[in-house]
């Protein structure tokens, strides 16, 4: 039970219920001053505590004691005792009950009037246990002032460390004040919310004299890892410059209100919205045409290739999915949200992570089961997105018939048919013509290659782009070619020879956890 930070320090002397006129007057002055200072604040707390006092079973007799008149303690001794005196006790002394009667009485039947005073741990230990006056002892945390100052000091140290970490790129971005963020989002109005993640919200806002539209990502200030996540995302996103990647505009660091990242606003909405959300009140609302779907597939594949091979250090996104793919007014796809992105030493060089983060349905088997991360992790997730573009289905749907809940598991037998599976796989809302049938077949082939269960047999992103564009593939090794059928389809040898049905069922069961509760959420994080 503690008091608010604004309360004053407690006096270091206790009030003796039986003290005589020999007690020094300075003590009563300090006591009266303390009571006046905290009267209003303590009154409400005492009301809540009064009915519980009798139920607290720690009844201790107190003794008469005199306050020493010797105030010539050195500063060193006061500092040594400071920590002990900050562990203060609240004495609730019964007025009108004799000690023996109070001790023998049922604690829950005591309803006497109480008088309160403070004493330190040192003084409590020195009390004589033979007195006839009883007191209920309550522990009160009165070192909030010290804790608050330490917390503020640690907070400023974290901010200074964060500033040093981002200093190499801070000058290339716009630094916004918290006031500008507040104005841009209209005090974080609910109507401005664009989306949310596991530990963040994204708001639409307008900044600058030209009222430029931006997307403002607000990280959870209560999360202990927010500083690290902010630093990593800022460092990675600020280094990316590609037509199919949403650019980072600036940031805001406020010690009290938290951390913010400001991205360019993309007006066309997310691929998730266009693929899976029906517009309310509009019958037969327009769906994405095949030409747009194919444009999205090639554009996102190129953005992934840029992350893996077009930057100084290989970047693994780890959360490629339709809700993180935005469409411009011209339906140009742009990859966004680098909150889970990380660097790897080089493409195809995996590393192990302790915590698996991402979205169920898009996690590669080696990442989901063993925490193994590489550029192939993104390739698998891209394959799931390609299947969504082809079929119009979500990766996990509990409402589907048995055997069709998991998109990848349902589609794999059909993918082996190659072009012959177009009729079964293609979204019924999309018309298949002679003109686009070849593109559909190439996307099926690319998707089959991406969702290969064995990481070592999964092609790099460059090969996936070549498949999508129908280019020759002289760089595909014979070892990987052995996994291709004559019609260009990939056989998932790993899933047939090494991955048992029980493992796949286990993967499905884990992926299905909480689907009914969180199915509409943008982001799920498994820890």
Other beta carbons within 10 angstroms of residue 303's beta carbon come to 26
Of 146, 15, 154, give the one whose Cα is nearest residue 89: 15
The whole-angstrom separation of Cα 181 and Cα 199 is 18
Secondary structure (DSSP) of 274-313 = HHHPPPTT-TTPPPPPHHHHHHHHHHHHHHHHHHHHSSSS
**Contact (Cβ atoms closer than 8 angstroms) between residue 233 and residue 261:** yes
| Secondary structure element (H or E) that encloses residue 408, with its range | helix 407-415
Secondary structure (DSSP) of 167-205 = HHHHTTSEEPPHHHHHHHTTTT-GGGEEEE-SSEEEEEE
First-residue to last-residue Cα distance in the chain: 33
Q: Which residue has the tokens 């793919």?
A: 325
Secondary structure (DSSP) of 459-473 = PPHHHHHHHHHT---
Residues serving a catalytic function are 319
> CA torsion 341→343→349→353, rounded to 10°?
-60
Give 456's Cβ-side CA count (13 Å radius). Answer: 3
The whole-angstrom separation of Cα 116 and Cα 206 is 56
The whole-angstrom separation of Cα 326 and Cα 238 is 18
Give 213's Cβ-side CA count (13 Å radius). Answer: 7
The whole-angstrom separation of Cα 360 and Cα 185 is 31
């Amino acid at each position: 039970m503690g008091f608010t930070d604004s309360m004053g320090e407690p006096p270091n002397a206790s009030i003796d219920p039986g003290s005589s006129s020999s007690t020094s007057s300075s003590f009563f002055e300090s006591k009266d001053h303390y009571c006046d200072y905290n009267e209003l604040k303590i009154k409400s707390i005492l009301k809540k505590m009064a009915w519980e006092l009798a139920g607290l079973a720690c009844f201790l007799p107190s003794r008469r004691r005199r306050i020493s008149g010797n105030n010539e303690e050195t500063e060193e001794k006061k500092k040594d005792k400071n920590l002990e005196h900050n562990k203060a006790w609240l004495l609730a002394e019964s007025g009108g009950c004799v000690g023996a009667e109070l001790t023998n009485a049922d604690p829950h039947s005591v309803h006497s009037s109480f008088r309160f005073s403070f004493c330190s741990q040192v003084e409590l230990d020195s009390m004589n246990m033979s007195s006839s006056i009883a007191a209920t002892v309550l522990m009160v945390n009165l070192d909030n002032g010290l804790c608050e100052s330490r917390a503020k000091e640690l907070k400023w140290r974290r901010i200074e460390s964060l500033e040093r970490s981002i200093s190499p790129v801070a000058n290339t971005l716009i630094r916004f004040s918290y006031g500008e963020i507040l104005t841009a989002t209209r005090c974080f109005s609910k109507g401005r919310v664009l989306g949310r993640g596991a530990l963040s919200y994204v708001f639409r806002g307008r900044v600058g004299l030209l009222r430029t539209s931006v997307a403002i990502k607000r990280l959870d200030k209560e999360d202990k890892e927010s500083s690290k996540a902010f630093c990593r995302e800022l460092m990675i996103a600020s280094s990316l410059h590609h037509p199919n990647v949403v650019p980072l505009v600036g940031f805001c660091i406020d010690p009290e209100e938290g951390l913010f990242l400001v991205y360019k606003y993309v007006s066309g909405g997310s691929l998730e919205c266009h693929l899976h959300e029906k517009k309310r009140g509009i019958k037969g609302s327009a769906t994405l045409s095949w030409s747009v779907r194919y444009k999205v597939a090639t554009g996102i594949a190129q953005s992934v290739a840029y992350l893996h091979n077009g930057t100084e250090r290989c970047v693994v996104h780890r959360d490629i999915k339709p809700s993180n793919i935005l469409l411009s007014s011209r339906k140009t796809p742009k990859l966004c949200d680098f909150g889970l992105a990380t660097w790897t030493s080089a493409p195809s060089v995996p590393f192990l992570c302790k915590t698996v983060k991402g979205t169920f349905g898009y996690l590669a088997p080696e990442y989901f089961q063993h925490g193994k991360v590489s550029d192939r992790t993104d390739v698998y997730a891209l394959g799931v997105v390609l299947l969504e573009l082809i079929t119009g289905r979500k990766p996990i749907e509990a409402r589907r018939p048995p055997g069709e809940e998991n998109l990848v598991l349902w589609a794999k037998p059909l993918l082996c048919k190659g072009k012959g599976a177009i009729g079964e796989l293609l979204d019924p809302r999309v018309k298949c013509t002679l003109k686009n049938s070849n593109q559909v077949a190439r996307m099926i082939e690319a998707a089959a290659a991406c969702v290969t269960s064995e990481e070592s047999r999964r092609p790099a992103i460059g090969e996936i782009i070549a498949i999508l564009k129908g280019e020759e593939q002289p760089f595909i090794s014979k070892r990987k070619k052995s996994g291709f059928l004559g019609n260009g389809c990939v056989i998932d040898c790993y899933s047939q020879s090494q991955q048992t049905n029980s493992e796949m069922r286990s993967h499905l069961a884990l992926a299905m956890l909480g689907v009914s509760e969180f199915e509409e959420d943008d982001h799920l994080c498994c820890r």
